[in-house]
Amino acid sequence: PRHKCGNQKSCPQNYFAFKIVSGAANVVGPSICFEDLVLMSNVKNNIGRGLNIALVNGTTGQLLKTDSFDMYSG
């Protein structure tokens, strides 16, 4: 069976499914999936160099904001 975000197991009831994948230099970009919805990825063109952050409401699961913090440039 297929599980949300391509995880190996389903999450228990009242838990959110998510998957965070780190990038590999500038070859493969990072991605963030939450409840089977890709929030950030190369395809969506909303990732940046450094830390990529998705702010999600912990009660409703609603995406509030995405952004990146460039650790290299300071």
3-state secondary structure 18-67: EEEECCECCCECCEEEECCEEEECCCCCCCCCCEEEEEECCCCCCEEEEE
pLDDT, position 31:
94
pLDDT, position 24:
80
- pLDDT means per 10 residues in the chain (74 residues)? 93 94 82 96 90 94 94 78
pLDDT, position 37:
96
pLDDT, position 74:
66
